[in-house]
């Protein structure tokens, strides 16, 4: 059975497509795309913000022509959309009427492009478990399917744990406030800390200046850049404590949760997430309630190497059992009603 994967260019796409190609009796092809805004030049984005949409319309027209050529040559049985927020509404209108499965990488309600698929998708697999109720209200077949850890990148490797505390991710209000407090404590106690990710726009010197003024302790330990997945995995292996600070917008487990565990590293995560039976909080992953509790637990766990190793091993075993990227892909293909119906038709 043939299917076309429409996805953004990203390491996650690469990892999923590797697993899709390994499936028996299926023939996938990949078509990458993104929104005009993320594919255009700085000048084009500035013009776009002023309300001039000519370049966007031309961009989408080219996307549709290229996609149409691929569809006519490949003739897939269904389309598998990865992410969804990367597919312009014009493209969605073009593919409407085909058999469509969406695997959303964020809450369906967070992006208008992703929510657009509630009008044209036959089936949706959700990153957010809480979206199931919302989608059932639209009479859509929906399943909870997290993004598991890519075992080809996130795997155990014996390394010296020379970093006391680490965090890699995007900036958000809650993360910034928590990390500033953690870094203040770490600086006072001479703990080694490494924080990675884009936290301010480095192209403008004044943004760095204001960031340093507001977060004087965090900036001491920050590498303000994008980390490649392999770099992230290596940092986890070197860390005694890997922080996982989820934002208030998400209540389901993030890929970071599984990726830390997959490297057999100790994880300290904020309370409030729904485990969905995939991991055991307290046993597989240590939990903190607020910033004061986090600081106390950092100090405690840094003095408990054997306990950290025990919890890290438990987390690793749970993730290998339930939450690898391979298992996520296998679950999509075993649970999809669209794929089951198409398979029966081909018998």
Reported as a single tens digit per residue, the pLDDT across 50-69 is 776 788 899 999 999 999 99
What is the separation of C-alpha 56 from the centre of its chain, rounded to a whole number of angstroms? 26
Among the residue ranges 142-156, 196-210, 325-339, the one predicted with the least confidence is 196-210
N- to C-terminal Cα distance for the chain?
Answer: 11
Q: Nearest 5 degrees, angle CA 176-CA 180-CA 182?
A: 120
Q: How confident is the model at residue 318 (pLDDT cuts 50, 70, 90)?
A: very high
Going by DSSP bridges, is the β-strand pair 267-270/193-196 parallel, antiparallel, or unpaired?
Answer: unpaired
Mean pLDDT for 268-296 is 96
CA distance 335 to 125: 10
Residues with Cβ within 8 Å of residue 112, at least 6 apart in sequence:
89
Instruction: Write down the pLDDT at residue 116.
Output: 94
Instruction: Write down the pLDDT at residue 141.
Output: 84
Mean pLDDT score across all residues of the chain:
94
* CB-based burial label for 168 (10 Å; 0-12, 13-18, 19+): buried
């Amino acid at each position: 059975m043939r299917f076309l994967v429409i996805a953004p260019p990203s390491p996650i796409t690469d990892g999923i497509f590797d697993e899709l190609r390994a499936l028996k009796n299926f023939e996938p092809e990949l078509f990458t795309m993104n929104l005009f805004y993320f594919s255009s030049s700085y000048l084009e984005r500035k013009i776009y913000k002023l309300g001039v949409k000519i370049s966007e319309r031309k961009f989408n027209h080219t996307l549709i022509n290229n996609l149409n050529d691929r569809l006519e040559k490949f003739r897939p049985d269904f389309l598998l959309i990865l992410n969804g927020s990367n597919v312009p509404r014009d493209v969605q209108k073009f593919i409407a009427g085909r058999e469509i499965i969406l695997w959303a990488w964020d809450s369906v309600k967070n992006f208008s492009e992703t929510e657009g698929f509630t009008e044209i998708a036959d089936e949706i697999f959700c990153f957010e478990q809480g979206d199931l109720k919302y989608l059932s209200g639209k009479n859509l077949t929906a399943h909870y399917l997290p993004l598991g850890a890519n075992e080809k990148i996130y795997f155990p490797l014996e390394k010296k744990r020379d970093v006391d505390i680490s965090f890699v991710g995007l900036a958000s209000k809650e993360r910034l406030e928590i990390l500033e407090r953690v870094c203040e404590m770490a600086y006072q106690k001479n703990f080694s800390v490494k924080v990675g990710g884009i936290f301010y726009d480095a192209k403008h010197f004044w943004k760095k200046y204001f960031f340093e003024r507001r977060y004087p302790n965090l900036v001491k330990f920050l590498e303000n850049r994008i980390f490649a997945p392999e770099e992230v995995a290596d940092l986890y292996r070197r860390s005694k404590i890997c922080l996982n600070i989820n934002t208030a917008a998400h209540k389901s487990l993030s890929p970071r949760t599984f990726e830390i565990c997959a490297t057999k590293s100790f994880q300290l995560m904020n309370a409030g997430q729904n485990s969905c039976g995939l991991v055991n909080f307290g046993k597989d992953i240590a939990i903190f309630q607020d910033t004061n509790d986090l600081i106390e637990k950092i100090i405690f766990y840094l003095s408990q190497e054997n306990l950290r190793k025990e919890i890290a091993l438990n987390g690793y075993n749970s993730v290998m059992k339930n939450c690898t990227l391979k298992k996520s892909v296998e679950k999509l293909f075993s649970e999809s009603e669209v794929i089951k119906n198409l398979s029966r038709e081909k018998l």
